[in-house]
Structure 1
Amino acid sequence: MRLANATAISLAASTLPMNMAAAQTGSVQTGNAPAGNRDAAPLGARLQGVQHFGVTVQNMDRAFEFYTEVLGGTEVMRDGDFQGVPVHYTLLTGEEIIANETGVNPRTIAVPDLAGGTQRLDVRFVQFDNVVIELLQYRDADQPQGSGDSFAEPREHMSPAYPRSMHICFYIRDNVDFNKFIQDLEAECARRGMTQVKANRSIKVMTEEERRAAPVTANTLKIAEGKSNCWSLIYCKGPEGEQLEFVQALGPVKQTFAEAKMKRERLIAAG
């Protein structure tokens, strides 16, 4: 059992960099608050915001290459070979209960055997300007870290309309040609053999050939009315089939988000 690693995985969130914007505005407390200072406060007042987003991947090296070399993130840390009863039930209690109550083999619902060490968990953290992304891979113990096969097969149907679906959204800079960014992203990923990286189009396409042949202006959708005026976006699949989004917020909608952020900072400062 690697109990030390079980502790390390729980400590990772508390030791990684906090949201940079919050730190710069002073809206996040640093250091240790006196005992009981926050414990009776509303739950929201006891949080420092979102620390990271996690995505389970099929191939760790490929995913890490995409988020660092293609999208420009930087490695925070990596750890792995997590196994043992504490880490297993920390991560998988709910799934174990479901398997037990329904009388199915846990493996058939993609529950790895971290408790017995048949499978292991590896993690890598990647820092972007204002958020950390955690890459996780569950693998059989005899598979090498990084390049080994994942324990479970990836799900074939990954529509964002499924309940419980989540996605990672990247923010395009104001002075970047968004359509060209998507064009360059797909070209770079194709060059690297990341064949699953495919952005949607904002016009009707019914075949992969039609998607590739669509005009570059269809690489993004720009909203020009309502509360989302000047919000541009496109959905895209990542190298592991994960759901990504890229957005660019200009003009009125950018101001809306800026005002909401300032309002929250004032509320936190007043509390």
Structure 2
Amino acid sequence: MKLNRRELVQVAEAAVLGGLVFAASPAAAQADRPPSSAVRNGGPLGARLQGVQHFGLTVQNMDRAYAFYTEVLGGTEVMRDGDFQGERIHNTLLTDQEIEARVRRVNPRTLGVPDLKGGAQRLDVRFIQFDNVVIELLQYRDAEQPTGSGAAFAEPLDKMSPAFPRMMHICFYLRDDVDFNKFITDLEAESARRGMTQVRANRVATVTTEEQRRAAPTVANSNSITEGKSNGWTLIYCKGPEGEQLEFVQALGPVKRVFDNARAAHLKVASR
């Protein structure tokens, strides 16, 4: 049976109205409504998260670290706070270390546990925003030390190999059109200009001295993977100004699609 134009319009209008009625129905409204707090709090733990908020890095020199992450790498300050002390903040951050000291029957200070409870040490923080994540810089200092440039409470760790269990690193994601090798060259040069001599990237070529590392050709600044599941992934490890472990990566081609698809699938599940 053929319908004339008027009948087609009437059918279309009925379909639209029917859809509106369905959408306005209690069942449809319930389906579109976000879950209540009670439902959310009774659901899986993962459904109660909304991603990673920040990574924290305890530093020896707050001003130096801040300059690197803002002036060199281009982050922007979110906020800063400090002079934290007292029982609540001490217990919030350091209870496990206090218990460990008592298990070992030693003074917590000998394990590098600051006394925020009594106020002998203080904590300062600064938050730095990047495109998709925040980095928090923390410095523990003696109460009489000045904020920012004062000496840290504890010595920095000497063993910073990424092979150590518990060792973490911060990874920065380069834009697709960036020349990776030139980026590393410029990063080292800009950091050196500011006196940040700890900022040193590894090389793909085998080197055995710092002089050889500096003399390596620019093409040795990155490791590009062209086969297997990581096809399109480029990376290099680098130390930051505090001796912290950094990584820089670029994801193109097949591996970029893998990560993009995984993110889309995760967001689809998380939005349910």
What's the CA shift string for 1:169-209, capped at 9, x where partnerless?
00011111000000000000000000100000011111100
Are 1:152 and 2:154 matched, yes or no? yes
By relative contact order (CA 8 Å, sep 6+), the higher-ranking structure is: 1
Structure 1 residue 84: deviation in Å? Answer: 0.3
Distance in 2 between residues matched to 1:95 and 1:265, nearest whole Å: 37
- Partner of residue 125, structure 1: 127
> Which TM-score applies when normalising by structure 2?
0.86
- Give the AA of the match of 2:222: T
Structure 1 residue 89: deviation in Å? Answer: 0.7
- Partner of residue 101, structure 1: 103
Among 136, 139, 156, which residue is 1:137 paired with?
Answer: 139
How many residue pairs end up in the alignment? 239
Partner SS, residue 253 of structure 1: helix
Distance in 2 between residues matched to 1:48 and 1:174, nearest whole Å: 26
Structure 1 residue 108: deviation in Å? Answer: 1.5
Distance in 2 between residues matched to 1:227 and 1:134, nearest whole Å: 32
- Partner of residue 182, structure 1: 184
Structure 1 residue 105: deviation in Å? Answer: 1.4
Task: Give the CA RMSD over aligned residues.
Answer: 1.1
Return the index of the structure with the highest Cα Rg.
2
What's the CA shift string for 1:58-89, capped at 9, x where partnerless?
00000000000000000000000000011001
Structure 1 residue 37: deviation in Å? Answer: 2.9
- Give the AA of the match of 2:238: C
Are 1:172 and 2:166 matched, yes or no? no
Among 204, 212, 227, which residue is 1:210 paired with?
Answer: 212
- Give the AA of the match of 2:97: E
- Give the AA of the match of 2:63: D
- Give the AA of the match of 1:110: G
Are 1:74 and 2:79 matched, yes or no? no
What's the CA shift string for 1:94-140, capped at 9, x where partnerless?
10000011011111111000000000000000000000000000000
Partner SS, residue 49 of structure 1: coil
Deviates more, 1:259-268 or 1:86-95: 259-268
- Give the AA of the match of 1:79: D
Distance in 2 between residues matched to 1:33 and 1:70, nearest whole Å: 43
Distance in 1 between residues matched to 2:214 and 2:67, nearest whole Å: 24
Distance in 1 between residues matched to 2:134 and 2:169, nearest whole Å: 14
- Give the AA of the match of 2:44: P
Partner SS, residue 72 of structure 1: coil
Partner SS, residue 66 of structure 2: helix
> Which TM-score applies when normalising by structure 1?
0.87
Structure 1 residue 243: deviation in Å? Answer: 0.5
Are 1:262 and 2:251 matched, yes or no? no
- Give the AA of the match of 1:121: L
- Partner of residue 195, structure 1: 197
What's the CA shift string for 1:227-262, capped at 9, x where partnerless?
000100000000001110000000000010001011
Task: Spell out the pairing of 1:80-91 with structure 2 (5 A cutoff).
Answer: 80-91=82-93
Structure 2, gaps ≥5 residues long: 1-33
- Partner of residue 54, structure 2: 52
Structure 1 residue 34: deviation in Å? Answer: 4.1
Structure 1, gaps ≥5 residues long: 1-31
Distance in 2 between residues matched to 1:125 and 1:37, nearest whole Å: 33
Partner SS, residue 153 of structure 2: coil
- Partner of residue 115, structure 2: 113
